[in-house]
Structure 1
Amino acid sequence: MLDGKTIAFLVAPEGVEQVELTEPWKAVKQAGGTPRLVSTEPGRIQAFNHLDKADTFVVDATVDDVDAGSFDGLVLPGGVANPDLLRTVPKAVAFARAFFDAGKPVAAICHAPWTLVEADVVRGRTLTSWPSVATDLRNAGATWVDKEVVVCTAGLNMLVTSRKPDDLKAFCQAAMDAFGS
Structure 2
Amino acid sequence: MVTCEMCGIEIFSRPITIEIEGAVLLVCPSCAKHGKQVTKPKPKKKGFSGTKTTSSLQSRTSTRQPSRQYRSLSEVDSKELTSDYDERIRLARQKKRMTQKDVSIQTKISVQELQSIETGKMRPPDVIVAKLEKFFNIKITENVASYSPKDQKKGSASQTLGDIVVLKKKKDEE
Which range, TM-score by smaller chain? under 0.3
TM-score (norm 2): 0.18
TM-score (norm 1): 0.18
Structure with higher Rg: it is: 2
Higher strand share: 1
